[in-house]
Amino acid sequence: MTAFPHTLPPLIWQPEPPAVPAALRRLIQAPSLTLALQATGADFRVQVAFQGEMAQLWPGEEVGGNAFHVRQVWLLLDDTPVVWARSVCPLAGAWPSILACGTQPLGKRLFDGRLAAERSPLAFAAVPPAQQEQAAQAVCLRRSVFDLNGEKMVLTEGFMPELARFLEE
């Protein structure tokens, strides 16, 4: 499996998805990536790469505070890594306990209707081929910020080229 990215290359974030095949475009715009991946019919599971305190933030992950809780996971279809996801929040507050969901998808907690969090509009970035290695081979990314009573959590997701074989045009 590709190593999880340590940081991201400089990217241009846009309000619209980059030019990608139609099936991938639909998936990267889905409100719940968990539900969209499960809808492919492949065996979906979450593999935790890291969860805990981290001092280094990536560009665009400003959430306030000076100590941060980070959850990094791979989303797999039929045991193939197709998406990586990184959630970042302040170490203190409500988000660390929400992110402590082990191999359960975070999307279940975010979208089951019990959490009164507001989500920012999605932002998208294409990853140029020369920078894909630094982004763990992701071809495009999406990012959003969830706000729960003034507490922020940044979610960044990277879409791998292997995802294409699970999508119907």
| Domains assigned to the chain | 22-166 (3.40.1410.10)
Tokens of 93: 């507050």
Residues 6+ apart with CB under 8 A from 128: none
Residue 156 pLDDT more than 70? yes
Q: Which pLDDT band holds residue 112 (cuts at 50, 70, 90)?
A: confident
Residue 134 pLDDT more than 70? no
CB 154 within 8 A of CB 88: yes
- pLDDT value, residue 40: 95
Phi, psi (5° rounding) for residue 48?
Answer: -80, 125
CB 8 within 8 A of CB 134: yes
CA angle (17 as vertex; 7, 100 as ends), nearest 5:
50
Q: Which residue has the tokens 């979208």?
A: 111
Tokens of 143: 């990012």
If residue 28 lies in a helix (H) or strand (E), which one and from where to where? helix 22-28
Residues 6+ apart with CB under 8 A from 112: none
Alpha-carbon distances, residue 112 vs 46, 60, 105, 106, 158 (angstroms):
17, 27, 11, 10, 23
Strands (E), 8-101: 44-54, 68-77, 80-90
For the entire predicted model, the pTM comes to: 0.92
Residue 43 pLDDT more than 70? yes
Measured in whole angstroms, the distance separating CA 160 from the mean position of its chain's CA atoms is: 12
